[in-house]
């Protein structure tokens, strides 16, 4: 009897393994046929490579100024021209990719963790807990996102810098003089603050709807533990919408970071940012359009690539598609 039970368990795991492998193979075939999704994936890979290896690939240092080469158009020496300080535009785009990638992935990861925890807790607990958590998420979403981010950055940046100046006067520790990392912390915190409610509502809705499906009820009736039901049935069937939300959030984070830097509230010089490049080009772009075209096209292309990738992954991983 024990041997038969063991064999039955092994067969069950073997069937589950084969089914899982077949599902992933089917998803890969679907994704490969979607040329827009493949295009988006290629752009995102190039974006990540630029973020990782940008300083190595850049022909010039992004801070290097050459006043004899100011406002030059694209050429063999400067592929995308130079700005009003003689800095190479292509090199600055590569360095800016690191800033954009760091902000996009970090803020999305923070928002996702908070949103999944809050949404799952609200969906499973229901009642008063659900009402309170959803009321908080509604309150955050009721405030315009960009306005909230601007408020957080402008309200916290100066007090923190003043506090660090006081700490330096007391300790003479040079660590408190370098506050360039503060820009990233404030951007991460502000964007995560406005990003988690969307994930929380999405996960809550998935938990509430999928938990009532027949196959979930059958699994519970057969004695499956709640954790196994969640990770074997609820979570896998929530992957499609969640992946779309994650990819859209990454693209949105890139645009929001650029917008904040454009307004002077995001990543500050000497750190490179596509938004800062756009802001610096405003007065000169009509006479020197290459200053605007480089960062603007890059931001738009990255945003579109994330959308294409998310839609393609959603279609490929949707278990209801034939």
Is position 9 within any domain?
no
Domain residue limits at 125: 102-288
Q: What is the mean pLDDT of residues 195-221?
A: 83
Is position 164 within any domain?
yes
CA distance 288 to 275: 17
* 1 band by pLDDT with thresholds 50, 70 and 90: very low
Question: Residue 304: its pLDDT value, please?
Answer: 92
Residue 33 has pLDDT above 50, yes or no: yes
Residue 116 has pLDDT above 50, yes or no: yes
Residue 179 has pLDDT above 90, yes or no: no
For helices 127-142 and 180-210, the axis angle rounded to 10 degrees is: 140
Asked if 230 contacts 210 with a C-beta cutoff of 8 angstroms, the reply is no
* Of residues 108 and 217, more confidently modeled: 108
Question: Residue 47: its pLDDT value, please?
Answer: 93
Q: What is the pLDDT of residues 117-136, one digit of tens each?
A: 888 888 877 788 889 999 99
* 14 band by pLDDT with thresholds 50, 70 and 90: very low
Is position 66 within any domain?
no
Asked if 190 contacts 153 with a C-beta cutoff of 8 angstroms, the reply is yes
Question: Residue 24: its pLDDT value, please?
Answer: 67
Question: Residue 43: its pLDDT value, please?
Answer: 94
Is position 92 within any domain?
no
Mean pLDDT of the chain: 81
Task: Specify the number of domains making up the chain.
Answer: 1
CA distance 220 to 240: 23
Query: What CA–CA distances, in Å, run from 50 to 46, 56, 62, 92, 284?
Result: 6, 9, 14, 11, 27
Is position 18 within any domain?
no
Question: Residue 23: its pLDDT value, please?
Answer: 62
Q: Strand (E) positions, 23-153?
A: none
Residue 19 has pLDDT above 70, yes or no: no
Is position 67 within any domain?
no
Q: What is the 3-state secondary structure (H, E, C) of 204-255?
A: HHHHHHHCCCHHHHHHHHCCCCHHHHHHHHHCHHHHHHHHHHHHHHHHHHHH
Is position 193 within any domain?
yes
Is position 121 within any domain?
yes
Residue 287 has pLDDT above 50, yes or no: yes
CA distance 177 to 204: 44
- Please tell me which of 1-5, 180-184, 312-316 the model is most confident about, judged by mean pLDDT: 312-316
Residue 276 has pLDDT above 60, yes or no: yes
Residue 321 has pLDDT above 70, yes or no: no
Residue 222 has pLDDT above 50, yes or no: yes
Question: Residue 9: its pLDDT value, please?
Answer: 43
Task: State the residue for tokens 């915190």.
Answer: 189
Q: What is the mean pLDDT of residues 278-307?
A: 88
The kind and range of the H/E element at 190 are: helix 180-210
**Residues 6 or more apart whose Cβ sits within 8 Å of residue 235:** none
Q: What is the pLDDT of residues 36-91, one digit of tens each?
A: 999 999 999 999 999 999 888 888 888 888 888 888 888 888 888 888 888 989 99
Task: State the residue for tokens 């307004």.
Answer: 263
SS3 of the chain: helix, strand, coil, percent, to 5: 80, 0, 20
| CATH code of the domain in which 246 resides | 1.10.3720.10
* 244 band by pLDDT with thresholds 50, 70 and 90: confident
* 8 band by pLDDT with thresholds 50, 70 and 90: very low
Question: Residue 123: its pLDDT value, please?
Answer: 80
């Amino acid at each position: 009897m024990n041997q038969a039970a063991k064999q039955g368990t092994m067969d069950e795991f073997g069937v589950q393994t084969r089914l899982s492998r077949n599902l992933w193979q089917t998803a890969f075939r679907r994704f490969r046929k979607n040329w827009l999704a493949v295009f988006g994936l290629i752009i995102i890979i190039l974006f990540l490579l630029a973020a990782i290896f940008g300083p190595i690939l850049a022909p010039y240092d992004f801070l290097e100024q050459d006043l004899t080469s100011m406002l030059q158009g694209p050429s063999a020496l400067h592929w995308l021209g130079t700005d009003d300080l003689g800095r190479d535009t292509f090199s600055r785009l590569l360095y800016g990719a690191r800033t954009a990638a760091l902000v996009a992935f970090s803020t999305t990861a923070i928002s996702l963790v908070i949103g999944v925890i809050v949404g799952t807790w609200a969906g499973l607990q229901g009642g008063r807990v659900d009402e309170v958590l959803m009321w908080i998420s509604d309150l955050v979403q009721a405030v315009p996102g960009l306005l909230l981010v601007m408020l957080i950055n402008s309200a916290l940046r100066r007090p923190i810098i003043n506090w660090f100046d006081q700490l330096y006067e007391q300790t003479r520790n040079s660590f408190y003089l370098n506050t360039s990392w503060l820009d990233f912390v404030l951007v991460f915190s502000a964007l995560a603050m406005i990003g988690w409610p969307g994930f929380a509502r999405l996960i809550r809705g998935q938990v509430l709807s999928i938990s009532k499906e027949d196959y979930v009820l059958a699994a519970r009736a057969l004695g499956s533990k709640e954790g196994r039901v969640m990770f074997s049935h609820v979570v896998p069937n929530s992957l499609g919408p969640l992946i779309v939300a994650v990819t859209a959030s990454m693209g949105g984070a890139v645009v929001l970071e650029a917008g904040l830097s454009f307004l002077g509230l995001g990543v500050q010089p000497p750190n490179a940012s596509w938004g800062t490049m756009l802001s610096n080009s405003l007065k000169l772009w009509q006479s020197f359009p290459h200053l605007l075209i480089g960062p603007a096209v890059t931001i738009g292309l990255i945003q579109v690539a994330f959308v294409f990738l998310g839609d393609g992954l959603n279609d490929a991983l949707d278990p209801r598609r034939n």
